[in-house]
Each structure stands twice: as C-alpha cells, then as structure tokens.
Structure 1
Amino acid sequence: MSDKRDDDGPAQYASPPCFMHELDPGYQMPLSDWTDVRRWRKAERERLIGARLAVSADARAAMSQRIGEGLDTLVGNVAGLMVSLYWPFRGEPDLRGFMASINARGGRTALPVVIEKGQPLVFRAYAPGDRLEKGVWNIPIPAEGDPVLPDIVISPVVGIDPSNYRLGYGGGFYDRTLAAMPFRPLVIGVGYELQRIPTIYPQRHDIPMTKVVTEATGA
C-alpha cells in the first residue's frame, strides 16, 4: 500500500532547527525539531527510493520471491483470514504471486484505497482477476466492493529502523488507518535489506510494524 504526500502531521517541539549538516544520510544525530525531521525524512525517502530503483528488475523479482516465502512462513495457515496487500509501485516488492496463493489456500485478500487526503485508508476485497481501476497516483484499486477489515496488513516500506518504525511516502495514511481500526491487525512491513536505516526519528503519531520481512528473512 502506498501513501504519498508531503509529510505526516507535525509534533510540537520548541528547539531550533539544525538540519543535520547537509542531510548526509550517514550522519545520525538527535533531531528534536519537527522541521528538521520532516526535511531529513524527505531527503532519506528520495535516497532510498533511488537505491531500490537502481536494483535490476531481475534482482528485485528474486528478492520479492524470497520475501513471499518469508511471509508464508510467518503467516502460516491463511484459511479464513483477510489479508491486505498492495499493488507494487516504484520498485516495491511484487507480492502478487503471494496474493494469488492466499486465495488458492482459502484466504481472502484486499487492497488499500485512498478516499481522501488526510483520512484513513479503506480496504476493499480483491482477488486476482477482479476488475481494477486507476486510483490516486494511477495505482490500481478494486473497482467495486464494500470495505473490509483485514486480519493482517502487509505494508511496503521506504525505510525501516530497528524498532520496526516505517518510513513511508509521507502521507501518514497507514498511521491514521491503524489508529482508526477497531482492532489491531498483525502489521507486517516488507522491503529490501538495503532499506534498513538506523532510525526514522519516530514521532508521537508513528505506529511501528509488528514484524518486518525482507529478502534475508525469506532466504
């Protein structure tokens, strides 16, 4: 599921900006001002997306296969479960094969839908072969269907830190969605090892993933 906007809502801090000395991604110092965090996240987001797009399509396909295997091991029996995945975007792991296998084994799948900027996502049931239409940023979404509540949410990451905090596209959609759900699903972040970073400088509104799966997890 992809969430793209300028940045999530600010936390309130009083210290002056310092802007991380030219935004060197390897330079990790405490940031206490939301302006600094926001600018650092934007630069880090661009760096990490560029890094994954630089990986060849064949290599990404092989890594996606291993990520699917890792998810299969982690999730186990999917019969009767509703699993939300996403349509791959800008080099994200392609898990459409794993999606098809969930349906083949008695589970159900869904895709996220952006309804309105600044609002939680809605999940609509989707199985391979169902009709799709273009959603926000031209990402395919289910053309019809009532909203569903997934038992498992599988979310792509732009970056991930050791505490399982996810750097996304900056829209804050996932955090809002998880905060608004009537129960907490199992939330699994997926990405490549190259997307691991020391910290995302988590804020009060950030919600960590329950688990993270990369190609190394699935190997």
Structure 2
Amino acid sequence: MSNSDEAPGRYASPPCMAAEVDPTYFDPDYVDPEQARDVARWRKAERQRLRSERDAISVADRAALGEAIGAHLLGFLADRFGSLEGRVFSGYWPIKGEPDLRPALTALHRAGAHVALPLVEVKAAPLVFRRWTPETKMVRGDWNIPVPPPEAEAVIPEISLAPVMGWTEGAYRLGYGGGYFDRTLAALSPRPFTIGIGLQAARLATIYPQPHDIRLDVILTEAGLQAGAA
C-alpha cells in the first residue's frame, strides 16, 4: 500500500491545514506551538496505523521482506563504498516486527566490517554503539532489547542503519517517537552516512518536518533504493 495517492482528507487531524497545501510550504526552521502539537498528534496516529499494518504481515512474508531488504542493502553498500573491511558499520537488532537484517550484518562481519549495534546508556541522550559479532553473548538493554554486553568495544559508526516506521521521498523518517536517532545523528561528528530501512508500504507524502528532524542520506525498502543520493 502506498500513501502517495491518498486524499488530504485521509488524516484525522491535519497539522494546521498542512494536508491541504504543498508540504514544502512550511518553514522547517520555524515552529508554531499549535502546529507542533498538531504534528505530534498526527505522527502518533500514523505510527499506530503503520505499526498495525506491519504487525499484520505474516511470519513468512516478513522473512521474505527481510531477505529482499538485506540483499538490496549489501548491493547498495558494495556499489557505494566498495569494501567495508575495517570500517565501522552500525545495524540494529530487529524488534516490533522490523525486517530481520541479521544475516546481512553477519555477511558484513565476515567480509571484515566492524559491525556495531546501538543501545541506550542514558535516558534521553544520544545512543552509544558497541561492537557485535555473530558470537556475541547479548544482554538485555532498554525495552528488553538484546544488546552487546558492557565489555564490548565502544565504537563510532561511519555508516549506520536507521529503522523507520514511515519514510518520505525527501529521505525523512518517522521513527518510534523517542527522538534517539535524531539526537544521535545531531551529536555525532562527523555524522555517519545513514540508511533508513523501511517497508515500501510505509511511504508517506510528508512527515511535516520539524527543526529537530534530520534528513537521512538514503531510504532502502524491499523494492530497493527509494530516496536520497544514488
């Protein structure tokens, strides 16, 4: 399912009538408090809708989606960067029905990349990254997500994956609402090349970008490269 052809009236609470005009009309450097509240309510509703649709995908179809995205990811990385041997690449552990890219992470590890996973070390602070291998004995982190143990090497990624609930052609992401990836990308210098990973059906016309939203470099879905630089 694509949202590109949906009528503006589709949304229950259009942010300040934003659904009735070109989304590029809004100045991303200006925040009207009422508009920000409307955007937050709209995003919450969209997250719930997209999460319900993703949860409805069968186990078999979800596995196929993960396999397709993983293949596109490895192909994109090879075309864009060549060998990742010795370079730090951050993935993520699949949760909440996300496509499972662990086979691709394993392939990158075996090809010599230094694979890392993000984790919350301090609430409402940027994420930290620890080295991961297929043999790593994981521990439970925030929200009960498996993460590398404290003794795993801390690293800073050069290339990073970002899970998305929704995405736009402008390479903006709708995440889970905690703000962790945006805070992390804003804090890292140099900023890693960031690849949003989502489903083709999760395409949105806009997320009504706010000043804290950071545009990703590219978006990849099971259909391949969808947004950002080729």
TM-score in terms of structure 2 length = 0.81
CA contact (8 A) 1:93 1:156 kept: no
C-alpha separation between the residues in 2 aligned to 1:66 and 1:138? 27
Which residue of structure 2 aligns with residue 203 of structure 1? 210
Tell me the CA shift for residue 129 of structure 1: 1.4
Q: Which runs of 4+ in 1 moved over 4 A?
A: none
2:12 to 14, 17, 22: 22
SS class of match (1:101): helix
Superposed counterparts of 1:107-146, under 5 Å: 107-144=113-150, 145-146=152-153
Q: Structure 1 residue 78 and structure 2 residue 84: aligned?
A: yes
**In the TM superposition, what whole-angstrom CA distance separates every residue of 1:79-136 from its partner, at most 9, and x where no partner exists?**
1211100010111110000011011111110000112222100011111111111111
Code of the aligned partner of 1:217: G
**In the TM superposition, what whole-angstrom CA distance separates every residue of 1:48-81 from its partner, at most 9, and x where no partner exists?**
0111111111111111111111111111122121
Q: Identity over aligned residues, as a percent? A: 44
C-alpha separation between the residues in 1 aligned to 2:59 and 2:73? 21
C-alpha separation between the residues in 2 aligned to 1:129 and 1:71? 22
Code of the aligned partner of 2:144: N
C-alpha separation between the residues in 2 aligned to 1:205 and 1:132? 32
CA contact (8 A) 2:84 2:111 kept: yes
Which residue of structure 2 aligns with residue 154 of structure 1? 161
C-alpha separation between the residues in 1 aligned to 2:204 and 2:164? 11
Q: Structure 1 residue 216 and structure 2 residue 223: aligned?
A: yes
Superposed CA RMSD: 1.9
1:56 to 58, 69, 93: 58
**In the TM superposition, what whole-angstrom CA distance separates every residue of 1:181-219 from its partner, at most 9, and x where no partner exists?**
12021100011101111111110111011011100017x
Closer/same/farther in 2, CA of residues 128 and 29 from structure 1, 3 Å limit: farther
Runs of 5+ in structure 2 lacking a partner?
A: 1-9, 27-31, 226-230
CA contact (8 A) 2:138 2:148 kept: yes
Tell me the CA shift for residue 178 of structure 1: 0.7
- Matched pairs, number: 198
CA contact (8 A) 1:188 1:209 kept: yes
Which residue of structure 1 aligns with residue 228 of structure 2? none
Which residue of structure 1 aligns with residue 103 of structure 2? 97
**In the TM superposition, what whole-angstrom CA distance separates every residue of 1:30-49 from its partner, at most 9, and x where no partner exists?**
68611000010001001001
Which residue of structure 2 aligns with residue 12 of structure 1? none
Runs of 5+ in structure 1 lacking a partner?
A: 1-19
